[in-house]
Structure 1
Amino acid sequence: MPAATPEVRTIDESEVADWSRALNTGFLRPPKPHPEAVAERAARFDLTRTRGAFDEGRCVATFRSVPQLLTAVGGAPVRADAVTNVTVSPTHRRRGLLSRMMAADLAEARERGDVVATLIASEYPIYGRYGFGPAAALADWEVDVARAGLDPRWRGPACGGRIDLVDGPDVLKLGPELHDRFRARQHGAIDRDERWWRLATGQETVPGEPWTEPFHAVYRSAAGEVEGLLTYRADDVWGDAKQPLNTATVDDLIAVTPAAERALWHYVCSIDWITRIRTGHRATDDLLPLLLPNPRAARAVTRSDWLWVRILDVVRALEARTYATAGTLVLEIVDAAGRADAAAVGVPPSPSGHWGRAGGSRYRLEAGPDGASCTPTTEAPALTLGAGELAALWLGEESPVRLAALDRLVEHRPGAATTADLLFRTARRPWCPDLF
C-alpha cells in the first residue's frame, strides 16, 4: 500500500513542540527542544506564517517566514518576505515538501505586496530552482596583529573623535538609531527589531543557550555624535613561554563614516594581549585589509554566498533602486520558478500567458541616478535572464557582462550587456551583516 502524501499546512500552538523537534532534527541538534524555547516560540512566532509537513501526525519538515525591510541600491527600504527555519527530515527528502511550503509562502507574500523574498542558504544548490539568486556575498578575515604594521603606541583616533567602552544597556539605547543610519547607506542590509538588540546585549537570552557578555565600544566624532559601534569577544590563550596568544572575535562592527570604521578597527587591533583578530562576516570589498599598512596580515578565511534574493514584483523592485547612469533597456525575465509556484497553489495564468507579477515577462526599464520607471512591454528584449540572475543584478552583486560570459544571460542586441553593466553597477558591493 503506497504511503500517504504528507500534509503541508500552518501549525497551531499545540504543535510548536513537535515542529521544534523537527527543526532540531533537520539542523542536527539534539532533537528534544528546551521547554522554555517552545513556550517562547509559541508566544513570539506568527503561526500563520509557520508551516510544517505532517506524516501520520509527526512533523517531518519545517518552514517559517517573517516580515523584513531590505535596503535597495540607493538606500530605499523594500518589503521582504524573509524565509527561515527551513528543514526536511532525512526520512522525507525528495518528496517535494519544501516545494509545497515555498510555493504557498511566496504566493502569500505576493498577495501581501512584498517586493522580494530573502533567505540565507545553508546549501548552495537548493534555492535556485525557486527563483532565488545569490545577491550579497560575504568574506571573513583573520588578522595577524603583529604583522599588520599598525603603530603599537596608538593612543586613539587622530581625527578628533574618541572611542568609549559601553555596556549592554547603552548599546540598547544607542544601537538602533545608529543601525538605521547605517542600513540607509548600505544596500543589502536588513532591519533589526527590538528583540535583536535585546539578544545582542544580554537583556534577553535564548532558552537553553549560555550567554557570555561581550565587550562593546562606540566611536564618537569630534562633535560627539555616535558614528560607529563595535562588539567583540576575546578568548584566553597563552603560549608555553607565558606569551599571550589571544584572539578577538568581532561579533558586529557597523559605521556610518570611514573615520569611525578606521578607528574601530585600529582600536581592536591595539588591545593588549590580542595577537589575532577574527573579523566576522564582512562585505567582500571591506576596507579592512587596505586599512592596514601591511594588507597581507589580513588573511581571507571565508568567501561565500550569503544573502539570497527572489524578486516577487519586478516593476516595484526595479523602480525602488537608483542606477549609476541614465539608460533604457528592455529585459525579458524567464521565471520558470514563478510559474511552478503559481501552479502549485492553483493560480491560473493571466490572459497574456504570464504567471503573476514576475512570471516570464518583458519590462522596459528607463533608469538613472535619480530613479527609474519600469513598465511591462511587448518590445523585443535586449537581454533575457532568469529570476535568480535578476536578483543578483538588482542588488549590485553581479555583472551582466560576467553573466553573459557564463551563459546565464542572453544578449540579443550587441552591447546590451555592457549597457546593463553601466546601469546596474554600484560603487560598493552589497552587504548583509546579519543572519536570520
Structure 2
Amino acid sequence: MSLEVRPVTDSEFPDWHRALNTGFLRSPVSPEEVVSGARSYVDLTRVLGAFDRGRCVATFRSFDQELTLVGGATRTVDAVTSVTVSPTHRRRGLLSRMMAADLGAAKERGDALATLIAAEYPIYGRYGFGPAASLAEWSIDVPRAGLDPRWSGPEDGGSIELLDIADVPKIGGEFHDRFRVTQPGATDRNERWWRMETGAKHSGTPKTERFFAAYRSPAGEIEGMAAYSADTNWGDVKQPLNTLTVDWLTALNPAAQRALWHFLCSIDWITTVRTGYRAPDDLLPNLLPDPRAARIVTQADYMWVRVLDVPRALEARTYTTPGTLVLDVHDPSGLTGGRFRLEASDTEASCTPTTDSPDVTLDVKELGALYLGDASAVRLAALGTLTENTPGAVSRTESMFRTPRRPWIPDIF
C-alpha cells in the first residue's frame, strides 16, 4: 500500500504529535494538555504528515518567521521545523515528498527564503539548504577568569537589575525588537514565544527556576538582557561548585555585553558558567582578564538557509563592498536558479536575469551558505563547490558577500 503525504487534520493531530515524539526519541505518550497546547499554536495547513494505513509515520511543519538580513532589513521566511521520519519508515522518500510540498507552497506564497536548524548535517543540502550561521558554546571557569571578586556593578555608570517574571514579556519584547535588527540571522520573538519563555511549555507549569537580568545604560535605557538558571551543587568541606547556565544573552553594544557577563560571573557560589549558544566570533572570551578561562565545549553549524527566489533574496540584503557579479545558480529542484547579474552599491542592490557569461557558478545550497555573510567564497572555491569562470571573481564574491561580524541566531525553532 502506498504511503500518503498530506496536511494533517485536527483529529489526526494527536497521532502526528505521537509520531513527532517518536522521531525525536521522546516518550511517545504526551499528556492531553501538552498535545492541546501544541495544537493551539500551529497552522494545520502547514502541518504535514506521512500516513501508513491511517497511522502517522513522518512529521513536518513550517511557519512564518521574520529573519534579519545583512544590512538590517527583515523578511518573512518559511521556517521549517518538527521534521521526523519514524525508524520503521526510513529511506522511503517521505522527507523528500514533504519538503517538496512545503517549499513549493512557500515559493507560491512568495517567500524568497526558507530556514531550518539541522539536527543532522548530511540531510538538508540535498534540498538546497546551505549552512548559513554557526554557533559556539563556552564553559567559563569563574575562579580562573580573573574578574574582580568585589565587583558590585558596571564601571560605566549603568546598572544591572533582576526583572519580575510578569514584566519580562513586555520589556523583553520591546528590547528584542530593537536588538534583532542589529544582528543578521536573528529572528522575531512573538507573543507565544514570550509566554513559553516566562510561563509554561504546554503543561501549565511555570518556569520558576528562571532568572531574567537586564542592563540599563547610564541614561536608563535597557541595552542588554539575559535569561539564566543555576544548579545547587556543593563539594567536600562545604565548597560551592554551582553551575550557572545561560539560556540567552543579547546586547545592543559591547558595554552591555561586558556588564552582563561580569554580573553572571560574579554571582555568589557560581564556579562555572555555561554560556549557551553564542556567535562563533563572540566577544566573550576576550571580555575576561584571562580568556583561557573560557573553554569551547560546542562548535557547529546551526541555521541553514534555502534561497527560493534568487533576485528577491539578493536584492533584500546589502553588500560589504560595491561591485558587479554574474552568478550562474544551479537548483536541481527547479524552484529557482538561472543566470543573474548582481549589481551592488553602498546602499542598495539589483539582481536581474542575464545571458552574460557567468563570473562564478555555484549550487543554490552554496548561495544559501553565502547569503548571511558567514561562508567564504574563497573556501568554497578551494573545496570545489564554487567555480570561478572569470579571473578575480572569487575574490570579488568574497569581498561583496562576507560581513565583518558573523551572523548569529540566538534562538532555536
**TM bracket, shorter-chain basis:** over 0.9
2:347 to 364, 370, 378: 370
- Report what 2:99 is aligned to: 102
Q: Could you tell me which of 173, 196, 204 is aligned with 2:170? A: 173
* Contact kept in structure 1, 2:198 and 2:207, CA below 8 Å: no
Secondary structure at the residue paired with 1:282?
Answer: coil
Amino acid at match of 1:155: S
Q: Distance in 2 between matches of 1:366 and 1:292?
A: 42
Q: Is the 8 A contact 2:65 2:76 kept in 1?
A: yes
Question: What is the aligned counterpart of 1:122 among 119, 144, 147?
Answer: 119
Paired residue for 2:298, among 293, 297, 302? 302
Partner of 2:229: 233
2:315 maps to a residue whose letter is: E
TM-score (norm 1): 0.93
Tell me what 2:40 maps to: 43
1:14 aligns with 2:25: no
**How far is the alpha carbon of 1:122 from its aligned partner?**
0.7
| Distance in 2 (alpha carbons) for counterparts of 1:190 and 1:162 | 27
- Using the aligned pairs only, state the percent identity: 64
Query: Within the alignment, does 1:400 sit opposite 2:397 as a pair?
Result: no
> Per the alignment, in what secondary structure is the counterpart of residue 206 of structure 1?
coil
Q: Deviations over 1:338-362 (max 9, x none)?
A: 22xxxxxxxxxxxxxxxx4x13x01
Pairing 1:82–2:59 present: no
CA contact (8 A) 1:330 1:379 kept: yes
Within 2, Cα distance between the matches of 1:208 and 1:57? 31
Q: How does 1:236-255 map to 2 (within 5 A)?
A: 236-255=232-251
> In structure 1, the residue corresponding to 2:232 is in which secondary structure?
coil
RMSD (Å) for aligned C-alpha atoms: 1.1
Please state whether the residue corresponding to 1:186 is helix, strand or coil.
coil
1:122-201 → structure 2 map (5 Å cutoff): 122-201=119-198
Residue of 398, 402, 406 corresponding to 1:425: 402
CA drift of 1:307 comes to 0.3
3-state secondary structure, aligned to 2:238:
coil
Q: Which residue of 1 aligns with 2:363?
A: 386
Q: CA deviation at 1:280?
A: 0.2
2:65 match: 68
Question: Which moved further from structure 2: 206-215 or 147-156?
Answer: 206-215
- Deviation, 1:42, is 2.9
Q: Report whether the alignment pairs 1:284 with 2:261.
A: no
Any idea what SS the aligned residue of 2:40 has?
A: helix
TM-score normalised per structure 2: 0.98
Distance across 2 between alignment mates of 1:210 and 1:257: 31
AA in 1 matched with 2:201? T
Deviations 1:170-223 (A, max 9, x none): 211210111111110000011111011111112x43228773431111101111
Aligned equivalents of 1:8 and 1:280: distance in 2?
37
Once the two structures are superposed, the pairs formed by residues 247-286 of structure 1 within 5 Å of their partners are: 247-286=243-282
* Contact residue 141 and residue 294 of structure 2 kept, 8 A: yes
Matched letter for residue 17 of structure 1: P
Counterpart of 1:30 in structure 2 is: 27
Deviation, 1:333, is 0.5
> How many Å separate the matches in 1 of 2:389 and 2:17?
49
- Structure 1 distance, partners of 2:67, 2:297, is 27
C-alpha contact 1:132 1:309 (8 A) present in aligned 2: yes
Which residue of structure 1 lines up, in the alignment, with residue 2 of structure 2? Answer: 5
Contact 1:163 1:219 in 2 (8 A): yes
Q: Which 5+ residue runs of structure 1 have no aligned equivalent?
A: 340-355
Q: Tell whether the 8 Å contact from 2:38 to 2:202 is kept in structure 1 after alignment.
A: no
Equivalenced residue count is 413
Residues in 2 aligned to 1:36 and 1:281: alpha-carbon distance in whole angstroms: 30
Query: What secondary structure, in the 3-state scheme, does the structure 2 residue paired with 1:232 have?
Result: strand
2:49 to 15, 34, 52: 52
Task: Kindly provide the CA deviation profile for residues 278-337 of structure 1, in whole angstroms up to 9, marking residues without a partner as x.
Answer: 00000000000010111000000000010011001111111111111111000011111x
Q: What amino acid does structure 2 have at the position aligned with 1:363?
A: F
1: distance between equivalents of 2:60 and 2:67? 20
Asked if 2 retains the 8 angstrom alpha-carbon contact of 1:16 and 1:41, the reply is no
Give the Cα–Cα distance (whole angstroms) in 1 for the partners of residues 151 and 207 of structure 2. 32
Cα distance in 2 for partners of 1:405, 1:157 equals 46
Rounded Cα–Cα distance in structure 2 between residues aligned with 1:251 and 1:403: 33
SS at match of 2:103: helix
| Cα distance in 2 for residues equivalent to 1:299 and 1:368 | 41
Name the amino acid aligned to 1:211: K
| Structure 2 Cα separation of the partners of residues 320 and 134 of structure 1 | 19
How far, CA to CA, are the matches of 2:131 and 2:239 in structure 1? 43
State the secondary structure of the residue aligned to 1:59.
Answer: strand
CA distance in 1, matches of 2:35, 2:266: 43
| Structure 2 unaligned spans of 5+ | none
Question: What displacement does 1:78 show?
Answer: 1.3
Alignment counterpart, residue 389 of structure 2, candidates 396, 412, 417: 412
